[in-house]
Amino acid sequence: MELNPNPGKNLIIEVDGKKFARYPVKTKLITPEDKDISLIAKEYVALHLFPKDIVFISEKAVSVTQGRSYPKEKIVASKMAKFLSSFVTKTPIGIGLGSPETMQLAIEEVGLVRILLASCFGYFFKIFNIKGVFYIIAGSKVRSIDGAVEYAIPPYNTYVSKGPIMANEVAEKISKELNTPVAIVDANDFGVNILGFYGGTDTSISLSASKKLIAKIIKDNPLGQSNEQTPMGIIREIF
């Protein structure tokens, strides 16, 4: 395994008094023709696994294989999507819902009424410097929407994506292929959201505790979606 395919990314992190290695795994360019991401995981990750490893996979890679990533120019944004997106604060890590295209995907995912409700409450609570209310109301489907970013590997620098569907089921299928726990993650420099997780047949593994631990371990987002081409990674406790 190439130990540091992502320049500038730290491999080792200490969490709750334990040390973990995070090994990003380089794959081929994943496209919509790759209908089953478990086959990609088996090809590129399986040979590197040790017992008790945890595999984590970018939600965007899963979305691509599910046909939920779209060229920006093919999204027809409604007038309401254009209007609402103009009020979204842009962040250094991406455009979020600040483009008409990503806002249109949000409306398609949860409906206009819910987006309007989330927008109203989000605006109200921002007055009191309370952030994040919009996404609490809009839900994880909206939080997982990704806009086009220049640093993504082509052609995905011009694509917008919905979050993956049935993420827990996807994690379970990959887990059974690899015989190790698997998490589908939405990770960036502002936080981590575990969209799907399957811990295998070991009933001693706590779902909530495992998801919280994984989020802590990859909080600095060791994967890369540019030329690094590392949509998958391995977590390994080191002693």
- SS3 assignment, position 202: coil
Cα 3 to the chain's mean position, in Å? Answer: 22
Which amino acid is located at 127 in the chain? I
Per-residue pLDDT band at 150 (split at 50, 70, 90): confident
- For the domain made up of 12-68+163-238, give the CATH fold: 60s Ribosomal Protein L30; Chain: A; (3.30.1330)
User: Would you state the pLDDT for residue 94?
Assistant: 63
Kindly write down the DSSP assignment for every residue of 87-144, as one continuous string. TSPPBTTB-TT-SHHHHHHHHHHH-HHHHHHHHHHHHHHHTTT---HHHHHH-HHHHT
pLDDT digits (tens, 9 = 90+) for 165-184: 999 999 999 999 999 999 99
CA distances from 9 to 21, 24, 72, 97, 188 (A): 12, 9, 29, 27, 13
Spatial separation of the C-alpha atoms in residues 85 and 24, rounded to whole Å: 34
pLDDT digits (tens, 9 = 90+) for 19-74: 999 999 999 999 999 989 999 999 999 999 999 999 999 999 999 999 999 999 99
Domain residue ranges in the chain? 12-68+163-238, 70-161
Region 220-235: mean pLDDT is 84
